[in-house]
Amino acid sequence: MLATALGLRDDERLSLREIASRLVIRTGKKRGQHPAPATVMRMLREHDEQTATATPEPTA
């Protein structure tokens, strides 16, 4: 789901609401439902934070 959300955000530049409407939860109690836009935002933000801390800044 994260990979799909990243593609929709970066390639198609969709809003959080549009991304959430295209995703479907595959496991758990909410299986088959769409995630909330806030959930998508949190998922993408956590990914961006992890990517930023894992990639060292180049030195000049």
Contact predicate 25/2, CB 8 Å? no
pLDDT at residue 52, as a whole number:
87
Per-residue confidence band for 25, with pLDDT thresholds at 50, 70 and 90 = very high
CA dist., res. 19 & res. 9, Å (int): 7
**Element (H or E) spanning 53, and its range?**
helix 37-54
pLDDT at residue 60, as a whole number:
64
pLDDT at 57 over 70: no
Structural domain boundaries in the chain? 2-51
